[in-house]
Structure 1
Amino acid sequence: MRVAAILVAAGRGERAGPSADGPKQYRTIGGRAVIAHTLNAFRAAGTVTQIVVVVHPDDIERLRTASDTGDCLIVPGGPTRQASVLEGLLALRSHVPDIVLIHDAVRPFVTAELIDEVVKTVAESGAALPVLPITDTVKSVDPVGKVITTVPRAGLFGAQTPQGFRFREILAAHHAAAASEDVVFTDDTSIAEWHGIPVQTILGSVDNVKLTTARDIQIADERLKGFLTMVDVRTGNGYDVHQLVAGDGVTLCGVRIPHDQTLLGHSDADVGLHALTDALLATCGGGDIGLHFPPSDPQWKGASSDRFLRHAAEMVSAKGGRICNVDVTLICEAPKIAPHRERMTRAIGNVLGLDADRVSVKATTNETIGFVGRREGIAAIATASVVYA
């Protein structure tokens, strides 16, 4: 099934006010022209195989500058929207699509899902119109602004685009409408209705707004900027392992625990803080603990590992980072970690300036498997989440 889309972009957009960028379809929102966003939405729809852009003759080069149009057929428009759509339909006669979608180029928030749903409905019913129920109270008002009456809103809907049709049927309807100068049409489904083509409605999207005024464009720009400004949350992981040898205790997550073994290392061999140091360094591209505190340097012999962790936290802070939470998992058969967990979380929190609910220390055994299971060593895995300004 061949599906073409006509983007109507020949209007001058006078209600949006003057701009150096030209008509509203070329105004910038979220760093790109309105029409560029609209084109990308149709490219994302898997059902659309051909795109036609109907443009004012004076704006052809402006269109090419504003957006990638290499895969589009560019057609000069007519003096009215209706005439422009007919020009787009006539340009498709050599392509003969099965279905054609007609869309306002200044509706940049149309989704690929809505486009595909319109195509599906046309294939099933012949013509499709996305609509939204009118929720505001509707008033009929006279030319001087006085209310005449309240119009019942039951059964009233606002029409959106893209509006979809069988190509040959809507082309014939537009030909007939062009020959009937005494009839005014506000959209393409009104032409279809007039020509006797049944139109099936589907639920539109509240996001699929038409940009009409300068304020509409400003709101759209703010919306996209908010969406495109990524919250810079980074997650780092760290892993460390140290060998167990005969001794009288181990230091884990900043807490000294009496034990019949000790961890072998150049510093105090605190695997928990070493893994956490690496996790923090990972969030700012800071390398690893060995880069900053090489075991070959005698000044770190027997050093308390909270110094390493504090250094990593200072690096994070210097690069605009704010530590959100940290998590350490100790993997060992012994000693028991649970009795010391609260002291460990407090020790880490004191170094990093974190509340207790932002520090997690967990422990698990290795089920007597491997070097940990044989009590030959203790391992640690750590994760840190940091928000960077």
Structure 2
Amino acid sequence: MPAERDDTDTPVAALVVAGGRGLRAGFDAPKQYRLLGGSPVLRQALAPFLATPRIGRIAVVIGAGDEARYADAVAGLDDGRLAPPTLGSATRQDSVRLGLEALQAEGFSGTVLVHDAARPFLTGALLGSAMAAITAETVAAIPVLPVTDTIKRLDETGRIAETPPRDRLVSVQTPQAFAFAALLGAHRDAEAQGRAGFTDDAALMEWAGHPVATFAGEPANMKLTHPEDFSRAEGGGSPALVVRVGTGYDVHAFAEGDHVWLGGVRIAHDRGVLAHSDGDVALHALTDALLGALAEGDIGTHFPPSDPQWRGAASHRFLAFAAERVRARGGLIDFLDVTIVCEAPKVGPHREAMREAIAAAAGVSIGKVAIKATTSERMGFTGRKEGLAALATATLRLPDTEG
């Protein structure tokens, strides 16, 4: 028997398939780029992977001619784990193989999660189940749901040929989890033998002789295929959304330097700030406001100043992380409001640049971002020009899962 491995140390990559044309969805562009709740479907599909630190690489396969659409959909998301997109092929099978080859070219080895971009409601819990399913003894595992309808098999004339037992039938979802080497080998063998037409990677692994395990899927992890799927996802069949409001506050003392970062904008100043990261009080306050509305701790919980990797880090990464945590839970960001308190530097000349930077990091339209500035009338530490502060409020909506 193979030695047991520590699966938490196994590298994990995600391969998101976004090369389809989505004609059945009835739109003039591929469905993965359509806005759903103000955000592209693809962006929402990527959110849970980006919100999971264990996933070290995220590869996306896109269709030829979709380069500009893809760039718009992922604007502001790159935290170093998102690989350049790979151009796919005419079939899903070939597109997955090309994506795997791109990961192989980077030297990847470990567990790969293959996910359809048309499933934007993936949760962190299901993602955790997928990662845990691959062990030293299991090279393929897929999420499944029990079939509730009676299924009939037809003969060539359209008449009922068989009624399979319902208790042995399941429907299949993604992400499907695989040992990377085994999946790539199966794809290469199929390509070499001219075997095509596999509708998912589990079927290909079955053909290659690998047993495929299962784990529980989630009913909400629906695939957007037809126009009515989008209508249902926009509210008709989704959980009710409840409003959450979070607040954030941050302060930094001035120190030696020649600039400060505020709202994602570098502003020349006769002082710098004393901070572990870039010291952007506006983005720190906004990050805490989002995390507070999610009841997921604060910025120090996720990015502790004791961790040297965050020394000098750009704070837009913190805000992007918090925003993706909202989307990973099926939520929507309605509005971000921040007030900056300082005697100097002047905020007004940089207000619009800040709004644009915040909107890009949070993945929202600029109309959902407000920035205000005030002084403290020369009172307190800000009035004495010893530092600057920011207060923020985030309004969002989350699925009502607590009843």
> TM-score scaled to structure 1, two decimals?
0.56
Aligned residues with identical type, % of pairs: 40
The separation in 1 between residues aligned to 2:133 and 2:18, in whole angstroms, is: 25
* Offset of residue 62 of structure 1: 0.2
Asked if the contact 1:28–1:221 (Cα under 8 Å) also holds between the matched residues in 2, the reply is: no
Q: Which runs of 5+ in 1 are unaligned?
A: 234-389
Q: Is the 8 A contact 1:56 1:77 kept in 2?
A: yes
- Matched position secondary structure for 1:158: strand
Mapped to 2, the partners of 1:223 and 1:136 lie a distance apart of 21
1:12 aligns with 2:21: yes
Match of 1:171 in 2: 184
Would the alpha carbon gap of residues 29 and 165 (structure 1) be closer, same or farther in structure 2, given more than 3 Å must change?
same
Kept in 2: contact 1:46–1:116 (CA 8 A): no
Quote how far apart the aligned CAs of 1:107 are. 0.5
Q: Is the 8 A contact 1:36 1:66 kept in 2?
A: yes
Structure 1 residues 142 and 122: alpha-carbon distance in aligned structure 2, compared to 1, 3 A threshold: same
Residue 221 of structure 1, CA deviation: 1.9
SS at match of 1:119: helix
Contact 1:2 1:98 in 2 (8 A): yes
Which amino acid letter does the alignment assign opposite residue 77 of structure 1?
A: G
- C-alpha change, 1:31 and 1:229, in structure 2 (3 Å) is farther
CA distance in 2, matches of 1:128, 1:226: 28
Cα pair distance change 1:206/1:127, threshold 3 Å: same
1:176 counterpart letter in structure 2:
D
- Does the 8 A contact of 2:93 with 2:197 survive in 1? no
> Structure 1 counterpart of 2:111, which letter?
I
The corresponding residue for 1:60 is 67
C-alpha distance in structure 2 between counterparts of 1:88 and 1:185, whole Å: 16
Query: Map of 1:227-266 to 2, 5 A cutoff?
Result: 227-228=240-241, 230=243
1:133-212 matches, cutoff 5 A: 133-142=146-155, 145-212=158-225
Partner of 1:43: 50
- Equivalent runs, 1:1-389 vs 2, <5 Å: 1-19=10-28, 22-68=29-75, 69-70=77-78, 71-73=81-83, 74-93=85-104, 94-124=106-136, 125-142=138-155, 145-222=158-235, 227-228=240-241, 230=243
Please list the CA deviations of residues 342-365 of structure 1 after superposition, one character each: whole Å capped at 9, or x if unmatched: xxxxxxxxxxxxxxxxxxxxxxxx
Unaligned segments of structure 2, at least 5 residues = 1-9, 247-403
CA–CA distance in 1 between the matches of 2:190 and 2:97? 10
Provide the C-alpha distance between the structure 1 equivalents of 2:126 and 2:206, rounded to a whole number of angstroms: 22
Higher relative contact order (CA 8 A, sep 6+): 2
Larger radius of gyration: 1
Query: What's the RMSD between the two structures over aligned residues?
Result: 2.4
Shift of residue 183 of structure 1? 4.8
- Equivalences, count: 232
The equivalent residue for 2:355 is none
> How far apart are 1:184 and its partner, in Å?
2.9
